[in-house]
Amino acid sequence: MSRVTSGTLTGLLCGLALCAQISCSGVRSSEGGGNPAIDALFVDYNRPDVPGASVIVIRKALIVYARAYGFANLEEHTRASTRTNYRLASLTKQFTAMAVMMLAKDGKLHFDDRLTDALPGFPAYGSRIRIRHLLNHTSGLWDYEDLIPEGQKEQLKDRDALELVKAKGATYFEPGSRFKYSNTGYATLALVVETASGRPFARFLKERIFQPLGMDDTVAYEKGISEVSNRAYGYTLEGAGFKRTDQSLTSAVLGDGGIYTSVMDLYKWDRALYSDRLVDRAILQLAVTPATLNDGSKTEYGFGWFVDRYRGRRLRYRHNGETVGFENVIQRFPEEQLTVIILANRTGAQPWKIAEKIADRRLP
Q: Domain boundaries in the chain?
A: 34-315+339-362
Cβ within 8 Å of residue 209, ≥6 positions away: 95, 98, 99, 102, 215, 278
Read off the pLDDT of residues 267-280 as tens digits, 9 standing for 90 and up. 999 999 999 999 99
Query: Stretch 224-243: mean pLDDT, rounded?
Result: 96
CB 195 within 8 A of CB 118: yes
Burial classification of residue 6, based on how many CB atoms lie within 10 Å of its CB (0-12 exposed, 13-18 middle, 19 or more buried): exposed
Helix ranges (DSSP H) in 227-306: 263-272, 281-287
Q: How far apart are CA 177 and CA 293, in angstroms?
A: 5
DSSP tag of 51: B
Could you read off the pLDDT of 3-60 as tens digits, one per residue?
333 333 333 333 333 433 333 333 443 444 578 999 999 999 988 899 999 999 999 9
Which CATH number, 3.30.1450.10, 3.40.462.40, 3.40.710.10, 3.10.290.10, labels domain 34-315+339-362? 3.40.710.10
The tens digit of pLDDT for each residue in 305-319 reads 999 999 999 999 999
pLDDT score of 126: 97
Please tell me the predicted confidence (pLDDT) of residue 32. Answer: 43
d(CA 322, CA 257): 9
In the predicted model, is pLDDT for residue 72 greater than 90? Answer: yes
**Cα dist from 267 to 29, 58, 148, 273, 285, whole Å:** 15, 8, 36, 10, 20
pLDDT of residue 48: 85
Q: How many helices (H) and strands (E) does the chain have?
A: 12, 13
Q: Is 296 helix (H, G, I), strand (E, B) or coil?
A: coil
Maximum C-alpha span of the chain:
70
26 vs 80 pLDDT, higher one: 80
- Which position has the higher pLDDT, 263 or 48? 263
**Residue 185 pLDDT class (50, 70, 90 cuts):** very high
Strand stretches in the chain, DSSP E: 53-59, 62-69, 71-73, 78-79, 86-87, 219-220, 235-238, 241-244, 259-261, 306-310, 314-323, 326-333, 338-344
